[in-house]
Amino acid sequence: ALPRTLEGVHVAISAGGTREALDPVRFIGNRSSGKQGYALARVAAQRGARVTLVAGNTADLATPAGVDLVRIGSAVELREAMHEVAADADVVVMAAAVADFRPVSLTGHKIKKTDGDPDPIALTKNPDILVELVAARRPGQLVVGFAAETGDETTSVLDYGRAKLRRKGCDLLVLNAVGDGKAFEQEDNAGWLLSPDGSEIAIPHGPKTQVASAVWDAVTARLTQPQ
Ligand code: C5P
């Protein structure tokens, strides 16, 4: 049996992708499978945590044993659910793939086919839930974010990750290199754990449960360290 290092700790985890409705039957979505968030929930529960998993659209995944599941659709619903659950959580992990934008207006009826060109879809920005959760953080609460980055000629994946950690203000950032079929919809993952004190832990390439274990090891070290 695993050591129950998260006994008495309430963790709130978001997973999967949001769906931004255009009309009653259509939405804008993304390819997030939810596998990394579900792996985080499973490992946390195995380590004794009370786990609330807030899930958007995911692949066909079984709810891990002992985990409370809350279903959401859109980013705005996810925001509401996360604020509610975070108010009672010791650790908050934003592993969901939140749509950056949503349609300005939701058409009450199915959008009709027209002979001419369709109207463009007007979009508006969604709230950054992670930034909001950091701002609303309770004393002693840890907030963990995710970043999926690609590097380019001028800036490395790590530099993009460091900048995102500063911008979001979270206590830990799980940085994944993406592109070339990495991370999204895959069974495996790899990356780094970045924290504001400058520490950078490389996570070796492996199953998403292994990445989850690395995250909970780092969280446990911070929870037990005097603040
Ligand atoms: O800015 P970017 O989307 O790369 O940041 C990723 C992190 O921010 C993830 O933890 C994701 O769950 C969170 N996020 C959020 N609200 C958004 C966009 C991203 O909480 N609107």
pLDDT band at 180 (very low <50, low <70, confident <90, very high): low
How much is the average pLDDT of 198-208? Answer: 93
Burial state string for 43-62 with b = 16 or more CB within 10 A and e = fewer than 16: bbbbbbbbbbbbbbbbeebe
> What is the tens place of the pLDDT at every residue in 111-160?
888 899 988 999 999 999 999 999 999 999 999 999 999 889 999 999 99
Superfamily for domain range 10-111+119-224? CoaB-like (3.40.50.10300)
Say whether pLDDT at 179 is over 90. no
Residue 129 CA: which ligand 1 atom is closest? 20
pLDDT at 195: 97
Distance CA 97, CA 151 (A): 19
Residue 168 CA: which ligand 1 atom is closest? 8
Please confirm, yes or no, whether 57 is among the known catalytic residues: no
Structure tokens at 179: 């592109």
| ipTM, 2 dp | 0.99
Amino acid at 4: R
Using a 6 Å CB cutoff, which residues line ligand 1?
75, 94, 96, 98, 100, 126, 128-130, 145-147
Residue nearest to atom 7 of ligand 1 (CA): 146
Catalytic one among 30, 57, 126, 176?
30
> What is the tens place of the pLDDT at every residue in 21-76?
999 999 999 999 999 999 999 999 999 999 999 999 999 999 999 999 999 999 99
Pocket test for ligand 1, best of 20, 58, 78, 94 (most atoms within 8 A of CB): 94
pLDDT band at 189 (very low <50, low <70, confident <90, very high): confident
pLDDT at 89: 98
Angle between the N-to-C axes of helices 35-46 and 208-224, in degrees from 0 to 180, rounded to the nearest 10: 50
Q: Cα(167) to centroid of ligand 1, in Å?
A: 11
C-alpha closest to that of 36 among 99, 95, 98: 95
pLDDT band at 107 (very low <50, low <70, confident <90, very high): confident
Q: Cα(50) to centroid of ligand 1, in Å?
A: 24
Structure tokens at 61: 């995944």
Q: Cα(215) to centroid of ligand 1, in Å?
A: 17
Q: Cα(164) to centroid of ligand 1, in Å?
A: 10
Say whether pLDDT at 108 is over 90. no
pLDDT at 161: 96
**What is the secondary structure of the chain as a DSSP string?**
----TTTT-EEEEEESB--EESSSS-EE------HHHHHHHHHHHHTT-EEEEEE-B-SS-PPPTTEEEEE--SHHHHHHHHHHHHTT-SEEEE-SB--SEEESS--SSPPPP-SSPPPPPPEEEPP-HHHHHHHTPPTT-EEEEEEEE---SSS-HHHHHHHHHHHH--SEEEEEE-BTTBSTT-SEEEEEEE-TTS-EEEEEEEEHHHHHHHHHHHHHHHHHS--
pLDDT band at 1 (very low <50, low <70, confident <90, very high): low
Residue 99 CA: which ligand 1 atom is closest? 21
pLDDT at 184: 67
pLDDT at 216: 98
